[in-house]
Amino acid sequence: MAITAPYRGVLPAMQLPYNDDLSIDEPELRRFSNWLASHDGIGGLVTNGHTGEVFALSPAERAQATRIAAEAVDGKVPIVSGICAEGVNEAVEHAGMAKQAGASGLLIMPPHYWLRFGMQPEYVIDLFTTIGKAVDINLVVHVYPAWTKASYSSELLGELAKLPWVTTFKVGTREMSKYDADIHAIRETGEDVTILTCHDEYILTSMVQGVDGALVGFGSFIPELITALYAAVREGDLKKAQEIQGRIYRLKQVVYAAGEPTSDAHARMKVAMYYAGRLKSTTVRPPTRLPAGEHLNRIKQAVQNAGLLQNEAAE
């Protein structure tokens, strides 16, 4: 599969449905993939992201999730698979499996030992270059928050933008002055690359910086609102964008509260999606746990206030 055009529009980071025995629910994932792909403004689907509980999946299951989604949409939209690996050889192995499963692109996460120990810029260039040469596929740079040791400098992002396999950046800097600098560095040095925000918790604020779309977990939950928001921003209709953001805000408050996404946030989102009839089950893999008590009631109330309530009781 040759390098294709950079990704644009809204790319939902997909939730992953499970059976009661915690195996992947293939019929439900097929239905869900097709439902997401049916919305105008969807530029692709992303399997094996943080929202999709990538850390809870074996390599074979990650490939399985990608294969199911790719077969389901049958070329209507591209499939991007997250690559979460600690070593370069492992990343190349996972990348090859994802490509064989039908992915047209790979979302490359930093090795998580970098979060503890940090890294040198040349390590990052080597990671992307090695994967690109080995698999020859679109690479999406997953930019972690500025406060982490796995944060890439603006200068490093500019260098990554020059690599022939890097076509898109998923920018989650979460420090707005650096976010602005990151966008400028990518634009100044990268030809024909695109920038997608992944700031679910303040998506309108990050969209108006002139990005090319969004790669967000909330695109999996409320694709009709996220695509409408991006369309309003592109049209320069700030009033309409603010109205849509107001609806998103109420749901965001019960999923993300006032902070950044957490592991529990993905479980809260799955519950909200069940209440809204977007998934048939709330099952998550241990050690993640589902919300209960008053928090569960707040999620249900927010979904109801948004006019999305379909199921009265969570599983």
Task: Read off the pLDDT of residues 122-171 as tens digits, 9 standing for 90 and up.
Answer: 999 999 999 999 999 999 999 999 999 999 999 999 999 999 999 999 99
Which DSSP symbol is given to 74?
A: T
**Is residue 139 within 8 Å of 163, Cβ to Cβ?**
yes
Query: Domain 9-240, CATH 3.20.20.70 — does that match?
Result: yes
Distance between CA atoms of 56 and 48, rounded to whole angstroms?
10
- Name the phi and psi angles at 18, rounded to 5: -120, 155
Which pLDDT value is given to residue 21?
97
Bridge partner residues of 47 (DSSP): 81
Length of the chain: 315
**Is residue 47 within 8 Å of 80, Cβ to Cβ?**
yes
Distance between CA atoms of 2 and 5, rounded to whole angstroms?
10
Which pLDDT value is given to residue 264?
86
Which pLDDT value is given to residue 226?
98
**Is residue 203 within 8 Å of 179, Cβ to Cβ?**
no
The low-confidence residues of the chain, meaning pLDDT below 50, are 1
Bridge partner residues of 83 (DSSP): 108
Both tokens of residue 30? 């097929």
Cα 292 to chain centroid distance, Å, stands at 25
Which pLDDT value is given to residue 1?
47
Smallest CA-to-CA distance from 275 within 259, 252, 298 is with: 298
3-state secondary structure of 195: strand
Q: Beta strand 9-12 with 79-83: parallel, antiparallel or unpaired? A: unpaired
Please give the C-alpha separations between residue 250 and each of 108, 306, 310, in angstroms, as whole numbers. Answer: 31, 8, 17
Which pLDDT value is given to residue 249?
93
Which DSSP symbol is given to 146?
A: T
Which pLDDT value is given to residue 315?
64
Could you report the per-residue pLDDT of 236-269, keeping only the tens digit for each? 999 999 999 999 999 999 998 766 777 689 999 9
Distance between CA atoms of 34 and 111, rounded to whole angstroms?
31
Which DSSP symbol is given to 217?
A: T
Which pLDDT value is given to residue 190?
76
Amino acid identity at 236: G
Give me the helices (H) in the chain, please.
26-37, 59-73, 88-101, 113-117, 121-135, 154-160, 176-189, 203-207, 218-221, 223-235, 238-255, 263-275, 293-305
Distance between CA atoms of 164 and 82, rounded to whole angstroms?
19
**Is residue 108 within 8 Å of 141, Cβ to Cβ?**
yes
**Is residue 178 within 8 Å of 147, Cβ to Cβ?**
no
